[in-house]
Structure formats: C-alpha cells, structure tokens
Chains A and B, each alone.
Chain A
C-alpha cells in the first residue's frame, strides 16, 4: 500500500522564479492538504483540495495556488518566490468522507530553498 508520494525531494530556486510541487495521496485517500513548515516551527496550513476544488485556505498570499486532478493527485504552485518561502512543504492526505477528522498521512516533503 503506497503512502503519500511527493516530488521532488529537494529544490533550489532563485528569487522571482516559479515552482511546482507534486503529491500523490495514499491509496484510498481523496483529500489532499498542503502545509509549509519553516525550520523550528510547526506546519502551517496552506490549503486543502477535495473533489478537485480548493475547500479551505490558510493565511497565504495568492502567489500560492494549487490543483487537484481526477486521480486525487495534487500540485502546489508558488509564483514570484521570496527568500521567506524557503521551507519544507508537506503534502498530507486523509480518508474519504472524514474531513480529516482522524488525522493525516504525510508525505516525506519537498525541501525548497530560495536563493
């Protein structure tokens, strides 16, 4: 049973560039949430996708956008990268119909460094 798969694992980008991160949820999960975790801090909620729509959004600017595909996989796009966007980006999937009530399964994350 495949867990949550994220790609790439590491990425270095220059300020002002754009980046796309990818996630495949755990088999049987249909809801994908994205979190940003800065060093020494807890994960911060970016947004959640369910049925190919953004259902909830955290306090992140419009530079952060996403998409969910019919196979439940998801992408996170960040435009006009800032140095402060350097962080570990985590994809979390959860069981259908539970509203994530029983917790997440996290992917291994994408470490983004903006220089």
Chain B
C-alpha cells in the first residue's frame, strides 16, 4: 500500500463546475499537507498547504484536512480549462525531513 493514495482519474468536469480531489495518507506523524499542480511536461507548482484540521480557502481553491481520518481534499470552484492538469497530494513529516507524494489525479475541465 502506498503511503499517499490518490484516485488516478482522469477526472473530467465541465467548465464552471466544482472539481473535488481526494487523498489519503498513512503516516500519522505528518505535519503539513500540500497540493501541487503539474501541467503536462512541467514541474510541480505549490498551490495550497494546510496543517490544521478544517478548511483553508485561497481564491477558488479550498483545502480540507481531517487528521483523524488521515484525509486531505482539494476543491476547485468555478473550474476553468486552465485548471486542467495533474494534481499531486503531498504529506510532510519534519522528523523524516521529506515530503511524500501521491501519484496524482489528472483533471480535465471541458469548455
């Protein structure tokens, strides 16, 4: 079992809809949780991080964290074709000194 699990997708939503991306993790010692966006052929770009239970909003993006359930999610409201990318969930354990990534969920937003 992978340390960080994501639905591989692809996830397809129409323009203007809400896209919901999910992630579960196994390391209870993880302290920070990240969502990176990776366009095809490009490197990952940090779009959200969260470290407390609950919701964190930044523009059209909302990250949700539930440490008891070891679950992280990302909601993208009013999805745009430019949001089409692979979204990588990552969890960070400071003691281990590294972030562990899932394999990503590919999102396609159709005009």
- Give the interface residue-count category, chain B: 20 to 34
B103 at the interface (CB under 8 A from A): yes
Q: Is the CB of A42 within 8 A of B102?
A: yes
B100 at the interface (CB under 8 A from A): yes
- Residues 77-98 of B at the A interface (beta carbon under 8 Å): 88, 90, 92, 94, 96-98
Name the B residues within 8 Å of A88 (CB-CB).
43
Name the B residues within 8 Å of A90 (CB-CB).
43-44
Among the interface residues A101, A103, A105, A106, which one has the most CB atoms of the partner chain B within 10 A? A103
Contact residue among B31, B42, B100 (Cβ-Cβ distance under 8 Å from A101): B31
Interface residues of B (CB under 8 A from A): 4, 31-32, 34, 36, 42-46, 49, 51, 88, 90, 92, 94, 96-104
Interface residues of A (CB under 8 A from B): 33, 35, 40-45, 48, 55-56, 58, 88, 90, 99-109
